[in-house]
Structure 1
Amino acid sequence: MGLTFVSEQVAVRTPATSANLGPGFDSLGLALTLYDDLSARVTGDRFTVAVSGQGAGELPTDETHLVVRAMLATFDELGGRPAGVAVECVNRIPQARGLGSSSAAIVGGVQLARALATTKITDADALRIAARLEGHPDNVAPCLLGGFTIAWTEASGARAVRLATAEGVHPTIFVPEERGLTSTARAALPASVPHADAAFNTGRAALLVHALQHDPELLLTATEDRLHQGYRAEAMPGTASLVASLRSVGVPAVVSGAGPTVLAFGSPPADFHPGTEWRAEKLGVDVTGALVKGSMVEHAERGPVAAGRQS
């Protein structure tokens, strides 16, 4: 018997994410309380996508949409595809700003496919599929699992652990109108870095794990970076300037993902003015990840993904 599918509509809410967090290049990520809402139901003919909010009128509405591509990859992993699926996306995560919009689409597609199929896969499989599509796991891990995550890649694929954050961790994002491209940001990075810089970041990344879990007072020091932000500064001068300005008044601030959004832990002084080109928004840390409503997906299966997970 081939793969079968549920008849009812399923829905998933996917959180925005911030990756790197300063020194944790391509490994550390944080889920934020800003969400896209996606839903899907099996139909009889083709794959369609209706988009409202961020990306409406820009994103494709057929099977080339990233959500559908992720669904198809998951269906193929499960061993079969439905004849068609109608997808609806209500997007609130800004596109191409360093807040994980592509990871939210990918994880959302994987989760919708899991919910529609009567054959189930674990979160470990879902993470592996999502990371393969995204190219790296630092954003898809917190999007799928929620919270603060450490992600890495082994021969078998991506893995991650989810850790709790301290009560004093309060993210604020500064989002510009301008967009950025991950490919452009990565192209600015050198093929090698000085050993001293690598050692510096190793210490800061280790400290950041402790600071986010237990001692937010250490975040200003723990978010220092020498591996990627300096090399990208010329392409994003406004972002680099805002990070420097926030840090100069004692606010731990970093480039969010590949930018140009800036992530700060805490709020700047009342007399601090980032400029009219920046929209500031206080957020929380999302602790649930991309949970599906109206499905049989068992979220208790997260143990294999996050061995040693703390809550």
Structure 2
Amino acid sequence: MEHVTWLRLQEAARLLAADEQVVAEVAHQVGFESERAFRTAFHKAFGCSPSAYRSRSRTSHQSHHVISEGTGPERAGSRGGGLRGLGGRAYPGLDGVKGARTLDLAAVANARFSRGARPWFGDAPLLGLRPTLRRIHGVPFRILDEAAGPSFVLMRSRKMARDETGRALPVEVSIPIGRRVRWLFVLHACAWAALPVGLARYVFRRTGGAEAGIVVRALGTAHPEEPDGSEANIQDWYFGYEPQQWEDARAWNLPSSRDPAATPQYLYTLRWKNPDPGVPLERLVITSRPEVEATLGVLAVTVY
């Protein structure tokens, strides 16, 4: 089953468990051309009809097939007016702080958001992200112009090993920093992340050779309070996955400028607080795990 179809079915399962929409309306809302095609695909995915699924989920009060909302991280949309509120609340401690520097990713960028035969993560384009200095969660991020060249860094995975020209995607990318850093923020996204898994690592190399690191770990279909999901800090970008808010990682909803009513698209910010800010950081090294399907894309990096 295609990734996009599976995500649509997950969203349908959530809708069936949450409200009283008729099956035909749910099928249309998640993008199926006919109710019959929807019913066939749903039965193949969940082993029962949409109506039976709804009855079962109402009886148990919790469906094991629907992506969990969770109580550990703050549920996206629980404050600030729903999903449209994602992105407005700044990380604490940034008010009045100056000295932000956006790192230049042009030398290592290798993919585009919406242009080419296989943009973004290869299955659907990312729409509505304009080249600009954009403030997200209180942090300024520099978005590259895809009309001028590649606009983000796409890392190698089992699902995406090569770009549209046939060249191998990188397993490691190095971005120079060369300054003292108190905080480092990353604007990134992931795809093909149905399983809870560590898909990449950010390594912060200091002058003199010492280093620190963060594992980029997808939540997928795990519950945030389960062992598999307790250390997650990113979620799949597509709408079928419930967006999450953690202390040091937050979802940002990017509505399509071409179609404001389109399904939401989620990017994430990640915050790293340097435990040794007195020693200059030489570079940020991004490494991926090419043996897993979950795929990382890095759009921007900002340091303070």
User: TM-score scaled by structure 2?
Assistant: 0.20
Q: TM-score with structure 1 length normalisation?
A: 0.20
More helix by share: 1
